Chains A and B, each alone.
Chain A
Amino acid sequence: MKILVCVKRVTDPDVKIKVKPDGSGVVTDGVDFKVNPFDEIAVEEALRIKEKLGGEVVVLSIGPQEATKEIRSGLAMGADRGILVKATEQLDPFGVANVMKKIVEQENPELIIMGKQAVDGDNNQAGQILAELLGVPQACFASKVEVGQDQKTASVAREVDGGFDHVEVDLPAVITADLRLNEPRYASLPGIMKAKKKPIQEIELASLSVDTQLKVVWHKMTEPAERQAGVRVPDVATLVAKLRDEAKVL
């Protein structure tokens, strides 16, 4: 079966990001870029399905030329080929989903796997919007996915408040990955070598003639007020005294 996986190039999730002094955006100088962690999980899941049922895994990224690096890391894990839609302007999740829809129409995958959330914009929207635009079912925040032998349905356990929601979707469908869906593999050295030869198709955003007009416009950015570090207490007795006399929470 053919699986399309969407990977976003994001700033290193473990770097504490700073806002530019003029509030026009965040400082990215000297910050590494990586595959959005949820999207790595999505790639891993696609590979596992392919290993079981056969087929092809296509990695799609929308972003600057540099995002070929994030596509290559998906290819190094084992995906078959990549598609880069070159876009330097800011897109909102609706615009991203519109672009993805175009690619889906060209590629006709049976399954689309994405991350639940890009850890830069923290939107958690693109997968759900894409599913609606395509008129296909969605199974978001997946912590277990099982594609039926007939490859016509998938059973998904969704991580939700209070437990797990088990659903079955007809394919094609959009699935978004949560943290505990799997543990992504590391790319092997041969995998990295092979990835260099795998094809990445580059498409200019303008050539797709999709509507990417912003429905959500970002204005001024600020840093939240820093929390003042408090005091170190030498021992438990002092801590209890503080909780009782200062914080008054006992």
Chain B
Amino acid sequence: MGNILMIVEHKDGALKKVSLPGISFAKQYTQKTGGEVHLLVMGHNLGAVVEQAKCYGAQKVFVADHESLGAYLTETYAQVAARVAKESGAEVVGAISTSMSKDLLPRLAAKLEAGMASDILSVTDQGWFTRPVWAGNAVVEVEITTPVKVVTVRGTEFEKAPKGDPASGQVNVDVAIDMGAVKKRFVRFEEIKSDRPELTEASVIVTGGRGTKGEEGFKLVEGLADLFNAAVGATRAAVDAGWVPNDLQVGQTGKVVAPDVYFAIGVSGAIQHLAGMKGSKIIVAINKDEEAPIFSVADYGLVADLFKAVPELVEEINKARAS
């Protein structure tokens, strides 16, 4: 007993790196409880993904590979995951916080009659979890009182699991879903492609806010990002205005990031934005308003007009690197 089942995600035939800290969390947890680490991969044509998933030292990888799982539907995935959770003797079922797990795990928890803790940061000595509430302005210790416990895990709080031996055992899951009973249909996925690193993977992030005033200003943000092979982030204001895709929103209700360096350009530093980036190692803020709250968290703050300062910064960095 005391096993933990972590759902891992994949895309285009590869395991998503974003899932790797979840495996570290699972190992840490089972060190305390003595159970096994199990991974669950769901989808269709999973061959390569399964091979990758087996390389991280989990005892078992459960594989639900079936055409009915080819497109993600909460209802079908929850059905399959619930069955695997029961059969594998999972005491904890978890996943890294992503848009998929946020959608899926509460429904799964309901199926398992399990209490769920969202976005956990750590495990306490009693086996409780800590998690942020009120946009991260408070952290609460929560005790899940049900036999099975469901958690989403904040990826920035755990190291990416390294590859490890021995290869995991594979357990193929019998997928039997009555699609007729599923009252939802997948229509299409509208993918927004980007050549940049993902926000959750990049070691440098350059974020633009309303101060960039539009796509022109955002080009400056991108120019700076190019120098670091950085991911580009945005505030809600910039996303709402339609300057950048929705999934670049950093904050309480968007992505939570903790890169080595975070540049906030024309960002005021609202509570909801700070919730998503104040774990960054170094924060650089450029804002023309010296009272902007972003300066209260910035390691380096520059009060300046971004339309002047950012091009200058790009030039100076190029110079500094050349010398």
Contact = CB atoms under 8 A, between A and B. Distances in A.
Interface of A: 11, 13-19, 26, 38, 92-94, 97, 116-117, 119-129, 131-133, 136-141, 143, 155, 157-170, 173, 178-180, 214-224, 227, 229-233, 235-237, 239-244, 247, 249-250
B138 to A, nearest CB: 5
Interface string B87-130: 00000000000111011111101110011111100000000100
B118 A124 contact: yes
A129 B135 contact: no
B157 to A, nearest CB: 12
Nearest to A219: B141
Contacts of A160: 99-100, 103, 247
Contact of A125 (B109, B271, B321): B109
B269 to A, nearest CB: 11
A250 B317 contact: yes
Contacts of A179: 236, 240, 253
Contact of A219 (B78, B140, B191): B140
A221 to B, nearest CB: 5
B142 A125 contact: no
A233 B302 contact: yes
A18 to B, nearest CB: 8
Contacts, number: 257
B69 interface: no
A228 to B, nearest CB: 8
Contacts of B183: 136-137, 169-170, 173
Interface stretch (B44-52, B55-63, B143-151, B169-177): B143-151
Contacts of B320: 240-241, 244, 250
A122 B100 contact: no
Contacts of A121: 133
Contact of B140 (A92, A218, A241): A218
A93 B184 contact: no
B75 interface: yes
B313 interface: yes
B107 A138 contact: yes
B298 interface: yes
B247 A94 contact: no
Nearest to B117: A216
B137 A16 contact: yes
A157 B302 contact: no
Given A160-B99, A170-B183, A219 B309 contact: no
A132 to B, nearest CB: 4
Contacts of B106: 93, 124-129, 132
A1 B189 CA distance: 29
Nearest to B293: A16
B270 interface: yes
Contacts of B75: 137-138
B115 A92 contact: yes
B284 A243 contact: yes
Interface residues of B, number: 88
Contacts of B98: 161
Given A227-B278, A229-B296, 16 more contacts: A125-B116, A126-B106, A129-B109, A131-B107, A133-B110, A136-B183, A159-B99, A165-B72, A215-B145, A218-B140, A219-B142, A219-B143, A227-B297, A232-B303, A241-B320, A247-B300
Contact of B301 (A97, A219, A231): A231
Q: Tell me whether chain A's interface is mostly helix, strand or loop, or mixed.
A: mixed
Closest 8 CB pairs of A and B: A215-B115, A230-B299, A128-B106, A132-B110, A170-B183, A125-B106, A137-B184, A160-B99
Contact of A218 (B142, B192, B253): B142
Contacts of A229: 295-298, 301
Nearest to B102: A124
A244 B313 CA distance: 12
Which residue, of B103, B106, B300, has the highest number of chain A Cβ atoms within 10 A? B106
B30 interface: no
Given A14-B271, A161-B99, A240-B317, A123 B118 contact: yes
B301 A155 contact: no
Contacts of A124: 102, 106, 118
Contact of A247 (B137, B261, B304, B309): B261
B159 interface: no
Contacts of B321: 250
Which one of A141, A160, A221 has the greatest number of beta carbons of chain B within 10 Å?
Answer: A160
Contact of B184 (A117, A128, A168): A168
Given A229-B296, A236-B304, A129 B110 contact: yes
| Most chain B CB neighbours (cut-off 10 Å) among A11, A128, A138, A170 | A128
